[in-house]
Amino acid sequence: MSPNAKGALLSLIAFGVYATHDVFIKTLGATYSPIQLVFFSVLLSFPLATINLMSERAPGTLMPVHPWWIALRTIAAVITGFAAFYAFANLPLTQTYAILFATPLIITVLSIPILGERVRLPRWLAVLVGLIGVLVVLRPGAETELGLGHAAALLAAFTGAFASIILRKIGGEERPVVVMLYPMVANFLVMGAMLPVVFKPMPLMDLAFLAIISVLAWTGGRVIIKAYQTGEAAIVAPMQYSQILWASIFGLAFFNEALDLYTGVGAAIIISSGLFIVFRESRGGNSTNTPVLRTRSRIGTPSAFRVSDLMKSGRHRDKTLASEKLPE
C-alpha cells in the first residue's frame, strides 16, 4: 500500500472514530447540559493528556511565546467546544457536520487579515459557493425554523477556524504542550465554574460514556496525526468529509434521522468548494501559508489535542512539512 493510500485509510478510520464520539455526545446531550459534558470529558481526558505530555522532550517552560495570541486561541477553543457539543445535542448529525464543513472556507477568509494571505478570485468564488451551500442547509425563511442549534454550529465553525488560523500563525514558535494544555485547563476552569448551575447527578453508565468520549477523542487524534505523517495533506485532508456518510448511517440507526434533500444538496456544495480549496492549495504558487491544509483538523473536541497542535510545532513540524511537499 502506498503512503498516500495508507494515509487516506488512516484518516478515514480516524474520522469514523470521531463520528462514533459524536454519537455518544448526542446521546448524553439529550439529558445533560453541554457545560457538564465538556467539563467531565476534559476532566477524564487529563490522564490521557498526561501520557501525551510525557512524550514531550523539548525543554522549556509553560509560558507562551505569544501570550495574547494564546489567550485568544484559548477563548476560541472554549467557545468552540461548548458550541459544538450543543449543536450535536440539538441538531441532526448530518446538519451539524454540513455546517461545520464550512470551517475551511472561514479559514480562507480569516487568512487575509491574520496571515496576510492574498486570496485570488478562484478561492473567493469557492468561498462564495460554499456559503451558498450553508444557506441551502439552513434554508432561512423555510418552514423549518432556525434555532440555537444552528447558531451554535455556525459559531463553532467560526471560532474553530479562528483557533486554527491563530495556530497557523504562531504554532512554529510555541511548544505543543502550551497550545494543547491551555485550552484544556481553560475548559476545565470555565465549565467547572458554571457546573453548579446545570449539574445533574450522573449514573455510572453515563460516566462510562463520558470516559469513552475521552478515549475516542484521544484515539482519533493519534490516528489522524499518523495519517498526516504518512500521506500528503492534500490526500488526507479531504477524508474529513467522510463524516457525512457516518452521520447518515449513525443518525438513521440510533436517532431515526434521515438525510433530507436540502442537507444533502447543501453538504455536497460545501464539500465541493472545500475540496477545490484544498486541492488548489496543494499546488505550488497559490498560497504563501496554505492555511487550510496545515490547520486541517477536528474541531469541537475539547477533550483532545488538535492535530495541528503537534503538526505545527516541535518534533512533528519538519516531518510534516517534508511529507506535504508544498512549495512556499
Distance CA 166, CA 289 (A): 12
3-state secondary structure (DSSP) of residue 3: helix
The per-residue pLDDT for 70 is: 92
Is residue 293's pLDDT more than 80?
no
Longest CA pairwise span in the chain (Å): 58
Which three cell numbers, joined as nine digits, stand for 87?
449543536
Is residue 69's pLDDT more than 60?
yes
- The torsion defined by the Cα of 52, 53, 55 and 58, in degrees rounded to 10, comes to 150
The model's confidence at residue 328, banded by pLDDT at 50, 70 and 90, is very low
Section 199-210 average pLDDT: 94
The per-residue pLDDT for 294 is: 55
SS3 content of the chain, % helix, strand, coil (to 5): 75, 0, 25
Crossing angle for the helix pair 93-100 and 243-255, to the nearest 10 degrees: 160
Distance CA 84, CA 76 (A): 12
Helix (H) or strand (E) holding 267: helix 261-281
Is residue 191's pLDDT more than 80?
yes
The per-residue pLDDT for 13 is: 93
Identify the CA nearest to 248 among candidates 30, 75, 16: 16
Angle at 317 between CA 297 and CA 290, to 5 degrees: 55
The per-residue pLDDT for 320 is: 41
Query: Would the pTM of this model clear 0.85, i.e. be above it?
Result: no
Is residue 188's pLDDT more than 60?
yes
Section 16-39 average pLDDT: 93
Mean pLDDT, the chain, as a whole number?
82
The per-residue pLDDT for 185 is: 92
At 314, give phi and psi (nearest 5°).
65, -150
pLDDT digits (tens, 9 = 90+) for 95-142: 999 999 888 888 888 888 888 878 888 888 988 999 999 988 887 655
Is residue 322's pLDDT more than 50?
no
The model's confidence at residue 318, banded by pLDDT at 50, 70 and 90, is very low
Distance CA 29, CA 65 (A): 37
The model's confidence at residue 24, banded by pLDDT at 50, 70 and 90, is very high
Q: Are 164 and 295 in contact (CB under 8 A)?
A: yes
Between residues 270 and 49, the one the model is more confident about: 270
Between residues 311 and 22, the one the model is more confident about: 22
Which three cell numbers, joined as nine digits, stand for 126?
469557492
Contacts of residue 72, Cβ cutoff 8 Å, sequence gap at least 6 = 162, 166
Which three cell numbers, joined as nine digits, stand for 326?
508544498
Q: Are 170 and 70 in contact (CB under 8 A)?
A: yes
Section 79-86 average pLDDT: 94
The model's confidence at residue 298, banded by pLDDT at 50, 70 and 90, is low
Q: Where are the domains of the chain?
A: 3-324
Is residue 169's pLDDT more than 90?
no
The per-residue pLDDT for 240 is: 86
Is residue 45's pLDDT more than 90?
no
Contacts of residue 151, Cβ cutoff 8 Å, sequence gap at least 6 = none
Distance CA 286, CA 275 (A): 15
Quick one: residue 117, left, alpha or beta (phi over 0 = left, psi -120 to 50 = alpha)? beta
The per-residue pLDDT for 321 is: 39
Is residue 314's pLDDT more than 50?
no
